């Protein structure tokens, strides 16, 4: 009998030791995760209990029905379900701080963009391939186009609006059949700008459009933006065109006007981000423009980047000599590693980005394949701008549970969530991408602390001139949100 007791005690000790080791491993892992250093207190705990209840309900349903789990499915197939999610509705109301990765002419909602096609003085040219848009004083005939008022074409051309709507978005019911690889979807993506740019870049519309961008962000509880722009040529009905400096001035004026009527909004800064598929001569033009922008708009100009499909664009190595000359003068925010390839010029852009001293990395999707780059990112606290929905729509990743940023989040890397080009995939503001990150790219145990850290990161890794002020204003908004949420969700 005594020996049995001793054996039971030994077994109990072994199991207890195993249980303690297991618990320690879980706790050690959790302590590495993004947001783990935040301590929730008071009403935050009540709000977190509500949030986690809703998160677990969605996760449990998805675990039982994996074919219905929203972050595992394509965005185009689940948009309405996202909007019905209690977690999404919670995130919409949450103060999110800043958007640090978004492109100017693709930031307003798709519905707003389409409604612009009912504007006065808008003309269209219809070909077999596509519909072209332009604002004009009167109809004109060109060798390859006959321009007619768009309202007349709506009446006379079969399926005109169906075709036009398709040209303004990537959304397709049969998207898997249409977008067979990344080059194909990028081709469709780039062609949207052929339709959109003449629509948005008409001066009166251009001003209203950017005001709408700021409005939609403000309504989504975002109070600051650093936006990429190629500084497109803007035009008016009198034949005048406006170059980079004039366009930057328009953005600045709209921002100041918006802040006058929305005092809680902290503002915007411009990142000059022209296309990357150019030669050294054009790169020198970019650099000259950067220097003029910085001199003319020292408080509004944020820095420099290069945009466009990385796989088919020029690698950063081509421009290293030129970029080294300005890296001490301006902030660099390089798109780098937006690819599935390994050992290519595209993922090697990550190496050049960190060596050139980039302030943040746009996308960084291939970062896990570059362990030495990851060490530099961690050591120098270089934020990575993750755009979950963009990565899915442009065919880098299908299931958010498999996104490489999951590793970055689990290991406490400096991560920011951006929205990239929401106009073209049916979203609005920042909440959709935050939802995908929270529900699809974090642990079941990840809670309100992660969302709070996302907002804090968006301020800390910005180049806003007074981060203490920004943090103070955000904290006020956060406290208000927590108090309102507590009154709504406190247990009876």
Q: What does the alpha-carbon distance between residue 326 and residue 174 come to, in Å, rounded to a whole number?
A: 45
The overall longest dimension of the chain from CA atoms, in Å, is: 105
Domains annotated on the chain, with CATH:
90-112+200-479 (3.20.20.140), 122-184 (no CATH)
Predicted confidence (pLDDT) per residue in 423-481, tens digit: 999 999 999 999 999 999 999 999 999 999 999 999 999 999 999 999 999 999 999 99
Specify the pLDDT at position 130: 93
For residues 387-409, average pLDDT: 97
Query: In this model, does residue 491 exceed pLDDT 60?
Result: no
DSSP 387-422: -HHHHHHTTS-S-GGG-THHHHHHTT--EEE--B-G
- Total count of residues recorded for the chain: 492
Q: Is the dihedral of CA 79, 91, 440, 225 positive or negative?
A: positive
Cα angle 258, 262, 268; round to 5? 50
- Give CA–CA dist 52/405, Å, rounded: 21
* Cα–Cα distance for residue pair 474/458, rounded to 1 Å: 11
Place of tokens 């934020």: 383
Q: Could you tell me the CA-to-CA distances from 215 to 117, 204, 231, 429 in Å, in that order?
A: 20, 17, 21, 9
8 A C-beta contact, residue 419 and residue 389:
yes
Kind and range of the H or E run holding 241: strand 241-242
pTM score: 0.95
Instruction: Give the integer Cα–Cα distance in Å for 59 and 439.
Output: 8
Q: Could you read off the pLDDT of 264-308 as tens digits, one per residue?
A: 999 999 999 999 999 999 999 999 999 999 999 999 999 999 999
The rounded Cα 407 to chain-centroid distance in angstroms is 19
Phi, psi of 132, deg, nearest 5: -105, 145
pLDDT above 70 covers a percentage of the chain that reads 96
Token output for 342: 């390994």
State the catalytic residues.
338, 363
Distance CA 114, CA 423 (A): 10
Look at residue 345 in the predicted model and tell me its pLDDT: 92
Query: Would you say 110 and 169 are in contact if contact means Cβ atoms under 8 Å apart?
Result: yes
Digit-coded pLDDT (tens) for 70-100: 999 999 999 999 999 999 999 999 999 999 9
Contacts of 292 (CB under 8 A, 6+ apart): 244, 245
pLDDT reported for residue 142: 81
């Amino acid at each position: 009998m005594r020996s049995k007791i001793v054996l039971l005690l030994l077994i109990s000790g072994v199991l207890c030791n195993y249980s303690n080791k297991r618990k320690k491993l879980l706790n050690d892992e959790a302590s590495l995760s993004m947001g783990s250093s935040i301590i929730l207190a008071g009403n935050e705990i009540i709000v977190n209990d509500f949030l986690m209840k809703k998160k677990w309900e969605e996760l449990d349903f998805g675990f039982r029905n994996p074919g219905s789990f929203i972050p595992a499915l394509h965005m185009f197939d689940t948009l309405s379900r996202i909007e019905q999610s209690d977690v999404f509705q919670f995130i919409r109301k949450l103060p999110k701080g800043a958007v640090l990765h978004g492109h100017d002419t693709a930031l307003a909602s798709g519905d707003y963009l389409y409604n612009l096609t009912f504007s006065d003085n808008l003309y269209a040219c219809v070909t077999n391939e596509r519909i072209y848009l332009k604002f004009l004083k009167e109809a004109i005939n060109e060798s390859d186009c006959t321009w007619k008022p768009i309202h007349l074409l709506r009446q006379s051309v079969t399926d005109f609006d169906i075709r036009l709507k398709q040209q303004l978005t990537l959304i397709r019911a049969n998207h898997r059949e249409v977008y067979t690889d990344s080059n194909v979807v990028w081709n469709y993506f780039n062609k949207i700008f052929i339709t959109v740019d003449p629509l948005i870049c008409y001066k009166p519309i251009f001003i209203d459009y950017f005001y709408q961008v700021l409005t939609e962000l403000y309504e989504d509880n975002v109070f600051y933006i650093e936006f990429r722009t190629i500084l497109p040529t803007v035009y008016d009905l009198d034949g005048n065109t406006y170059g980079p400096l004039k366009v930057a001035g328009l953005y600045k004026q709209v921002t100041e006007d918006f802040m006058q009527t929305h005092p809680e909004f902290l503002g915007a800064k411009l990142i000059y981000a022209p296309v990357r598929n150019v030669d050294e001569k054009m790169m020198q033009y970019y650099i000259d423009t950067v220097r003029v922008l910085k001199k003319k708009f020292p408080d509004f100009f944020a820095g420099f980047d290069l945009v466009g499909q990385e796989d088919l664009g020029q690698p950063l190595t081509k421009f290293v000599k030129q970029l080294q000359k300005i890296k001490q003068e301006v902030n660099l925010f390089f798109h780098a590693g937006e690819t599935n390839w390994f050992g290519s010029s595209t993922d090697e852009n990550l190496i050049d980005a960190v060596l050139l001293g980039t302030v943040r990395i746009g996308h960084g999707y291939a970062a896990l394949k570059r362990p030495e780059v990851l060490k530099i990112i961690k050591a120098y606290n270089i934020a990575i701008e993750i755009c979950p929905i963009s990565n899915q729509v442009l065919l880098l990743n299908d299931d958010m549970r498999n996104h490489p940023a999951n590793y970055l989040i689990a290991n406490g890397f400096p991560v920011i969530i951006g929205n990239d080009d929401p106009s073209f995939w049916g979203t609005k503001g920042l909440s959709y991408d935050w939802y995908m990150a929270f529900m699809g790219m974090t642990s079941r145990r990840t809670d309100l602390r992660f969302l709070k850290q996302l907002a804090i990161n968006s301020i800390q890794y910005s180049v806003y001139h007074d981060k203490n002020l920004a943090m103070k204003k955000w904290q006020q908004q956060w406290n208000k949100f927590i108090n309102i949420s507590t009154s709504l969700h406190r247990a009876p």
